[in-house]
Amino acid sequence: MKPTILVTGGTGYIGSHTVVELQNAGYPVVIIDNLSNSNREVIDGIERITGIRPEFVEADCTDLTALKILFDTYPGIKGIINFAASKAVGESMQKPLLYYRNNLNTLMNLLDMMGKYDVKGIVFSSSCTVYGEPDVNPVTEETPIKKATSPYGNTKQISEEIITDVINSGAPFKSILLRYFNPVGAHPSAEIGELPNGVPQNLVPFLTQTAMGIRKELSVFGNDYNTPDGSCIRDYIDVVDLAKAHVIAIERMLDDKSEAKIEIFNLGTGNGMSVLGLINAFESATGVKVPHKIAPRRAGDIEKVWANPEHANKVLGWVADTPIEETMRNAWAWQCKLRERDIM
């Protein structure tokens, strides 16, 4: 029997896909989620895909008492994957304290519990946002960290520093920091996917909702950037590819495959794609048109950023290789499933 993994934020978008991959790899999973940006039906979807219903605790990771009860109830937890965090850049500018409180208290509580309950490793969801607007693309793990441009981004930088300080102080556990580029798509079964509350802020959910007719048209934020077609460039990575990297990271720590107590990996495809390029890929993959218009630039957007994923490719033996067309078809199938179920 493999050790139990605690997935915080496990009913969320990336969390739920990771729970599926962990269960497929034979790990028992306990999810803790406060359902602030997800719902409990996600657990049914996970069960339909894997045939296994993960343990679920509805609680907030900032609640230390709830965490203690959880660790007392599930003494077999040996690894944590921490997804529980607020993640909207714009909202973080309006409500910085909410972001610092949620994201940092959650992490500190988990680190506190790890020492007390003999947990061997924690995977932390970090972001390419720590590189800001890079001087050179693609970015490697050695690319300098730039001053954060939002409280959200700052919580990712501070979290990385907290983990590093705690580990360097001699804490008896390991950590892997995963810096995600832009996760998109959905599980190919269309049983789980991204379901943002309200009007989506991110490109792909807005795009699929527009294709469905829920939104009138997609605004392309800027066509005057210094890029081949003028729109911003990102590294869009399939969410299932991304989820699989977490299983490898957990295994690496729990099986002591590396001497290092703390490691950092960029998780991306290595391919930069523009906003207009992504719209094209969606249209050609699905045959569905996306009404769109050019709109002014969005404040705070980065012009271009994509990953050099060689470190993860070599060291983790992991590669994000799902073609973007397939990812777009999965995103569309998920949107269609939401319609079928009368959810969106």
Query: Could you give the CA distance from residue 178 to residue 160 in angstroms, rounded to a whole number?
Result: 10
For residues 69 to 108, the per-residue mask of contacts with ligand UD1, x marking binding by CB under 6 A and - elsewhere, is ------------------xxx-------------------
152 is catalytic: yes
Query: Could you give the CA distance from residue 316 to residue 247 in angstroms, rounded to a whole number?
Result: 10
Per-residue buried b or exposed e for 33-56, using 16+ beta carbons within 10 Å of the residue's own CB: bbeebbeeebbebbeebbeeebbb
Stretch that binds ligand UD1, among 23-31, 126-134, 163-171, 249-257 (CB under 6 A): 126-134
Q: Which is nearer to ligand UD1, 110 or 128 (CB)?
A: 128
CB within 8 Å of 62: residues ≥ 6 apart: 101, 102, 105, 106, 109
**Which residues within the stretch 35-74 sit at the binding site for ligand UD1 (CB under 6 A)?**
none
Of the candidates 113, 124, 120, 122, the residue with the CA atom closest to the CA atom of residue 160: 124
Single out the residue of 5, 22, 203, 250 in contact with ligand UD1 (rule: CB under 6 A): 203
Provide, rounded to whole angstroms, the least separation between the CB of residue 259 and ligand UD1.
30
Phi/psi at 166 (5° precision): -65, -45
Of the candidates 35, 1, 4, 322, the residue with the CA atom closest to the CA atom of residue 184: 322
DSSP state letter for 7 = E
For residues 284 to 313, the per-residue mask of contacts with ligand UD1, x marking binding by CB under 6 A and - elsewhere, is --------------x--xx--x--------
Q: Which is nearer to ligand UD1, 261 or 298 (CB)?
A: 298
DSSP-derived 3-state class of residue 79: strand
Stretch that binds ligand UD1, among 4-12, 61-69, 95-103, 122-130 (CB under 6 A): 122-130
Q: Which is nearer to ligand UD1, 248 or 305 (CB)?
A: 305
Alpha-carbon 68 to chain mean position? 26
Stretch that binds ligand UD1, among 24-32, 164-172, 200-208, 243-251 (CB under 6 A): 200-208
Provide, rounded to whole angstroms, the least separation between the CB of residue 242 and ligand UD1.
12
Of the candidates 107, 99, 145, 146, the residue with the CA atom closest to the CA atom of residue 123: 107
Provide, rounded to whole angstroms, the least separation between the CB of residue 272 and ligand UD1.
11
Q: Which is nearer to ligand UD1, 27 or 83 (CB)?
A: 83
Cβ-closest position to ligand UD1: 232
The CA-atom distances, in angstroms, between 37 and each of 93, 157, 235 are 18, 22, 24
Choice among 152, 180, 225, 236 that is catalytic: 152
The first and second tokens of residue 81, run together, are 């994957």
Provide, rounded to whole angstroms, the least separation between the CB of residue 133 and ligand UD1.
8
A 10 A CB-CB count for 208 gives: 30
DSSP state letter for 296 = P
The first and second tokens of residue 276, run together, are 């207009």
Query: Could you give the CA distance from residue 262 to residue 260 in angstroms, rounded to a whole number?
Result: 5
Stretch that binds ligand UD1, among 107-115, 190-198, 214-222, 251-259 (CB under 6 A): 214-222
Provide, rounded to whole angstroms, the least separation between the CB of residue 69 and ligand UD1.
31
* 202 near ligand UD1 (CB under 6 A): yes
Bridging pattern class, strands 29-33 and 4-8: parallel
**Which residues within the stretch 221-250 sit at the binding site for ligand UD1 (CB under 6 A)?**
221, 232, 234
> Which residue numbers are catalytic?
152
Footprint of ligand UD1 on this chain (CB under 6 A)? Answer: 87-89, 127-129, 182, 201-203, 206, 218-221, 232, 234, 275, 298, 301-302, 305
